[in-house]
Copies of this chain bind each other. A is one copy, B any other.
Amino acid sequence: MSTENLDISRRKLLGTVGAAGAAGLALGAAGGAATYATAAGPAGTALATVGSTAVPFRGTHQAGILQPLQARGHLVAFDLAPGAGRKEATALMRRWSAVAERLMAGEPAGDGDTGVALDAGPSSLTVTFGFGASFFDRTGLVARRPAELDPLPAFSSDRLDARRSGGDLWVQIGADDALVAFHALRAVQKEAGAAAKVRWQMNGFNRSPGATAQPMTARNLMGQVDGTRNPKPSEPDFQERVFVPAGGDQPWMAGGSYAVVRRIRMLLDDWEKLPLERQERVIGRRKSDGAPLTGGGETTEIDLDRTGPDGKLVVPDNAHARISAPEQNGGAAMLRRPFSFHDGIGTDGTPDAGLLFIAWQADPRRGFVPVQRKLDRGDALSPFIRHEASGLFAVPGGPGEGEYVGQRLLEA
């Protein structure tokens, strides 16, 4: 009865709904987020778009990769419990898929729903699942472990905390409402039951919808426009850069992607002391609007060869935007879809804040790894950041009708 009650109360709010129209995609184009038609309920109420936007659970790709950045995010990694193996993992992925589908549609989690999301619509909730390299040992599926999951190399600037790194399983939750996101986090934890234990958990955030006049590229906590040069779905090589094609070594990963997760602390006390001009030379772009230092607007192509009156490169040798550009890395590219984090004040008295960097790519060995290698050697940003935790997860394609996430791995 409890679930029913909650269910009715929430449905009433949604009114008579039907999927309609594709929401604007911050990434540049292409769909993935359906919006409930603004529906007049019995009391003449209409859910605002922020709440009413629902992202489909099923599709070629899992949700949470192509959708616009959400205002609130939770990352949580689990380890399978001692004794749990393939059977328990299979049951877990079934349970998680079922609950994710319900929640993303704006329905209660099931019996004993906490009620935290009541009144609100789905608020663009996405729940995304991935598998770490250790998952394959634990489940006897080593033969199906993709080579793409080989451990990331150690980088000289790494200051990684093993307890906040890795994990058999990874769940990314994003929503435009903090209570909807928290509700989903608790539901996912509850469904883990005895099968898996939380290994680490992180919270993040981005701009609230409507805080800017129109959708704009995100800013990070250093104040920079961040995401400008992300691959765009409209570009011809977008799919092959971000998603695993069919016909590869591991057929179960077709339509999937690899997520590199790095908790990157920003040394803000130092950064904020740097004059604006020097901050801009660290990136190679203007802070105000993200335009290249070589001129134009945010989307103007950066001219890496241009020299100034002093004969020096306008975009410095070690500028982050130079070193990380695909042109400088044999075409290596990734889709960065981060959350900022801020966990108050660290034990050292400086802000425990930065970027929950999440990079999506078809193969980290042709995405994150070569770029980070280069950044590690000479990025002007390095003195102002610190990689504190790391994860690499295989995120399978989206579930088809009647499927659960990971079924093609676990039941093939």
Contacts and interface: CB of A to CB of B under 8 A. Distances in A.
Interface of A: 2, 5-6, 9, 13, 15, 41, 45-51, 71-72, 112-116, 118-121, 123, 176-180, 182, 186, 190, 198, 200-203, 205-214, 216, 219, 221-224, 268, 272, 275-277, 287-289, 340, 342-345, 349, 351, 353
Contacts of A206: 178-179
Contacts of A224: 115
A120 B113 CA distance: 35
Contact of A213 (B13, B203, B207): B13
A123 B71 CA distance: 14
Given A208-B71, A288-B6, A116 B177 contact: no
B202 A344 contact: yes
B5 A212 contact: no
Copies held by the complex: 2
B71 A118 contact: no
A200 B41 CA distance: 45
Contacts of A212: 13, 47-48, 51, 119-121
27 contacts: A2-B277, A9-B289, A13-B213, A41-B213, A45-B213, A50-B211, A113-B223, A114-B222, A114-B272, A115-B222, A115-B223, A115-B287, A116-B221, A118-B288, A119-B219, A121-B211, A123-B211, A176-B211, A177-B207, A178-B206, A179-B211, A182-B340, A182-B342, A186-B268, A201-B345, A208-B209, A343-B343
B214 A45 contact: yes
Nearest 9 Cβ contacts at the A-B interface: A115-B223, A50-B210, A48-B210, A2-B276, A177-B211, A51-B211, A178-B205, A120-B211, A9-B288
